[in-house]
A and B are shown apart, each in its own frame.
Chain A
Amino acid sequence: RKEVEQDPGPFNVPEGATVAFNCTYSNSASQSFFWYRQDCRKEPKLLMSVYSSGNEDGRFTAQLNRASQYISLLIRDSKLSDSATYLCVVTPTGNQFYFGTGTSLTVIP
């Protein structure tokens, strides 16, 4: 089983829609979690950390479900500029980290 798994999509949603991605992880002892965004032909950029209590940054909400071992990213009121690939990162220990393969989002006018 892979350490981190993501649905590759693509997710095609209309502007203004709400969309959610999940990322499952295999190591129940995983400590830290993050979401990255990668635009086409660009480098990945850190979008937000995922805290145990959940956290929100504008239209973006990240949540952690330790019981089911997944993290989620919710995007409300989708904009055309949200079109990108979203990568999750899980760090099982202080010396390990794993990137998911990414979920592709296209927001359609």
Chain B
Amino acid sequence: NAGVTQTPKFQVLKTGQSMTLQCAQDMNHNSMYWYRQDPGMGLRLIYYSASEGTTDKGEVPNGYNVSRLNKREFSLRLESAAPSQTSVYFCASSEVGQLGEQYFGPGTRLTVT
């Protein structure tokens, strides 16, 4: 099992460019999450999807959109990247009712210049 996979691993964007971060899990989990992690700030939840067909905002949703494409895939889109979105982005998944037991992907390191 691959667990949770993310693409790309690294990305450099110019201000104003758009991109989509991809995430897929093969654990048949219902819930999926997108986080950003910045030095000294810990993990901050951007969006989550409790189940296929639903998405909800987390702590820091501004500037992002998400799509739960199917049960396996949950993508994060930056429509117009800003330097403040330079961060490490993690995708995670968990089983319903087990929010504290999350499995993370390897992360995407994004730099916006």
Chain A positions within 8 Å of B, measured between CB atoms, are 8, 32-34, 42-46, 49, 87, 89-91, 94-97, 99-102
Cα A99 to Cα B102 with chains together (Å): 11
Please state if B99 and A43 are interface contacts (CB–CB under 8 Å).
no
Q: Is the CB of A101 within 8 A of B90?
A: no
Docked complex Cα distance between A95 and B49 (Å): 11
Whether B104 contacts A99 by the Cβ 8 Å rule is no
Tell which of B14-22, B39-47, B64-72, B74-82 binds the partner.
B39-47
Check B104 against A45 for contact (C-beta < 8 Å). Answer: yes
Show the binding face of B for A, using Cβ within 8 Å. Answer: 40-43, 50, 90, 97, 99-107
A43's contact among B42, B50, B106, by CB below 8 Å, is which? B106
Partner of A87, one of B41, B43, B105: B43
A-chain residues with CB within 8 Å of residue B42 when the two chains form the complex? 87, 99-102
Once the chains are docked, how many angstroms separate the CA of A8 from the CA of B42? Answer: 10
- Are B41's CB and A101's CB within 8 A? yes
Residues on B with C-beta less than 8 A from A90 are: 100
27 A-B pairs with C-beta separation under 8 A: A32-B99, A32-B100, A33-B100, A42-B106, A42-B107, A43-B90, A43-B104, A43-B105, A43-B106, A43-B107, A44-B43, A44-B102, A45-B104, A46-B102, A46-B103, A49-B100, A49-B101, A87-B43, A89-B100, A90-B100, A91-B99, A94-B97, A94-B99, A95-B50, A97-B99, A99-B42, A99-B43
